[in-house]
Structure formats: structure tokens, C-alpha cells
Amino acid sequence: MKKRNQFWKGMLYGALAGGAISLLDKDTREVMKENILNVSKKGLYIVKHPQEVAEQIKETAIRIKETVEDVSEDISYITEKVEELRELTQK
């Protein structure tokens, strides 16, 4: 007979049980309710305005790329200056 690893099944059941028990607390239920409403509103916005969301993602990607390039240039400059200082201190 083939034995299966029950670890992930146990993890899932444990997470479900822990989540259910945590919902016994009124404050937790209220926070979860608010979170679910917020996520559903954002999801509806994305569904209704996919082009706008895609444009925002593109703009963010461009800004990240520019920032990485700037940091890379700064690191290159600093590395160059450190090398110059090493050469000067050796002389």
C-alpha cells in the first residue's frame, strides 16, 4: 500500500481550523469584513477599468527601472571614487 505524506493536508486543516476559531472574536470578524469589502471594491475597479490599471502598472514599472538605473549609476560613481582614493593613498 502506498503511503502519502499528510503534512500539507494537515497544514491546510490546521489553517482552516485556526481561521475559523479566530472568527469567534467579534473584532476579528469586523476587520475581516472590512478587508473583504475593500478587496472586492478594488477587484471590481480593476475589472471595470483594466486599461487604467495596466497603465498605472506600466508607469510604476518605468519609475522602478529609472530608479534602479540611477542607483546603479551612483554605485558606479562611488566605486570609481573609491578606486581613485585607493590609488592616491598608495602613492
**pLDDT for res 3:** 67
Rounded to 5, what percent of the chain is helix, strand, coil?
Answer: 90, 0, 10
Higher pLDDT, 5 or 55: 55
* Residues above pLDDT 70, as percent of the chain: 96
Which pLDDT tens digit goes with each residue over 19-63? 999 999 999 999 999 999 999 999 999 999 999 999 999 999 999
CA 84, CA 89: separation in Å to the nearest integer?
9
Q: Is the pLDDT of residue 1 over 80?
A: no
pTM of the model: 0.53
Predicted local distance difference test score (pLDDT) of residue 90: 79
